[in-house]
Structure 1
Amino acid sequence: MHSTVTRTQNVFGFFTTVCFIVAALIASTDFLFPRTPSASITVKDVQVVKGRPHYYSPKREEYASIRFSLSADLSSLFTWNTKQVFVYVTASWPDKDAANKSVRTNEAVIWDTIITSPSADHLQNIGLAAMRKLVASAKGKAIDPNRGKLELKNQKPKYQITAPTGKLAETDDVQLNVHYNVQPWVGVLTWTPQVEFGRWKRMKGGLSKVFSLPALKKKEEKKGEKKKA
């Protein structure tokens, strides 16, 4: 005859098994929805400065600030199981001494944002007025088709980029790339796919043209400009 503890363990084990199966079924429904994201990104302005990129930086070094324009349609990433989508832009470039310039060994994030679904708006860390507008815009919508659409013009970067060597000026073959991470209510995190998987397609576009970082102005040139002025 089973004891109370044994029966409790059996009930709890059955309960967790059912929960796991239900969660797996919910997560698998994501594959039924097509993902066809697209993005277009262009570089607007690039500056390389020598100084302290952050207030906690121990030394002066070269860092770059890259302005860009972004037009993206990530609305297909939002389904009834989507909690939020994390979007970020990276700048990547190969090492100067690398034999194969197609291998981009350096990558740094210059901008990011979080787009919540209507069911997760309460998680946004924004003011009350902005929250009311956000909730009102999505009222009655399980999936808001306009949530994943971004239109940024001459956007300032959130983060400056540096290099391990402390030198960035005159770096060639730099390219911006748009990435995303889908965070579901139930299931695993999914990142920007490198290959197509069923109805999930690779991002169309999302890469800028290759560009070079400008050179630093010499102190002598700056002094000469001041004297002429």
Structure 2
Amino acid sequence: MYSSLVRIQNTFGFFTTVAFVIAALIAASDFITPRAPSVGMLKTTNLQVVRGRPHYYSSKKEEYAIIKFSLDADLSSLFTWNTKQVFVYVTAEWPSTSTTGVTIASNATANQAVIWDAIITSPSADHLSNLGPAALKKLRKSAAGKAIDPSRGKLSLKNQRPKYQITHPSGKIAEMADVTLRLHYNVQPWVGVLTWNQGVDYGLWKQLSGGLSRKFTLPGLKKKEEAKKTS
């Protein structure tokens, strides 16, 4: 009963319990920290629809939308001493049936496609960011000695080019109506569960204020005749 193996097992079990309790307390500490993310502006600045091939060997062309946008957002309240990084992304959304007559799968309530994303690391996780040596050195210098950097999470993008062009399984997306842009975030802590942008308030955690652009309609494709006249 009091062999060395039993004592090792008891000691290991004790430290495992202590580690689990500490981890639970660290994760619970997030709930007593206020969160109030907000978006001051999210709007499109340029819309374009082009035709292209999905891959090199494809003989069929599809329509692709290129959406440039401007964004002013304050997500700094999402960064606490337990925040590892925040994943931010912007989606284009439109209803399952467009007023232009383009019909989309009836089993889908809405269509959503990511046009831009970014990972914002906390000062304690800057070494994990995919940056060059010069940019990483500058980032570490700006956050030296800080567990929480008040400037982290403040986004100001002007006429931002999208990272991804969007299309539809039907291959047609021109003149799509009732399209909106929406900002999303995902908080990844050092210890605890992942949290996404919430639809309602949870105590000190407030839902994202703003984050939805006005509805707009994607432009149509230019006809060859019109292109010849302008050239």
Same fold at TM > 0.5? yes
Secondary structure of the 1:89 match is: strand
Task: Give yes or no for contact 1:93–1:104 (8 Å, CA) kept in 2.
Answer: no
Give me the whole-angstrom Cα distance separating, in 1, the residues matched to 2:58 and 2:7.
60
Q: Which runs of 5+ in 1 are unaligned?
A: none
- Alpha-carbon offset, residue 54 of structure 1: 5.7
Q: Which letter maps to 2:75?
A: L
- Alpha-carbon offset, residue 58 of structure 1: 7.0
What is aligned with 1:50?
A: 51
Among residues 192, 202, 207, which one is paired with 2:212 in the alignment?
Answer: 207
Secondary structure of the 2:70 match is: strand
Assess, with a 3 A threshold, how the Cα gap between structure 1 residues 54 and 211 changes in structure 2: closer, same or farther.
farther
| Aligned-pair identity (%) | 66
Aligned pairs for 1:109-148 within 5 A: 109-148=114-153
Q: Which runs of 5+ in 2 are unaligned?
A: 98-102
Backbone CA RMSD of aligned residues: 2.0
Q: Which letter maps to 1:108?
A: A
Task: Give yes or no for contact 1:88–1:179 (8 Å, CA) kept in 2.
Answer: yes
Q: Is 2:174 the partner of 1:169? A: yes
- Alpha-carbon offset, residue 11 of structure 1: 2.5
Equivalent pairs counted in the alignment come to 223
Superposed CA offset, 1:53-80 (max 9, x none): 5658674200100000000000100100
Give me the whole-angstrom Cα distance separating, in 2, the residues matched to 1:176 and 1:185.
30
Give me the whole-angstrom Cα distance separating, in 1, the residues matched to 2:207 and 2:128.
29
Q: Which letter maps to 1:202?
A: Q
Give me the whole-angstrom Cα distance separating, in 1, the residues matched to 2:183 and 2:58.
27
Q: Which letter maps to 2:159?
A: N
Larger mean Cα displacement after TM superposition, 132-141 or 23-32: 132-141
- Alpha-carbon offset, residue 52 of structure 1: 2.4
What is aligned with 1:25?
A: 25
Structure 2 length-normalised TM: 0.90
Task: Give yes or no for contact 1:87–1:178 (8 Å, CA) kept in 2.
Answer: yes
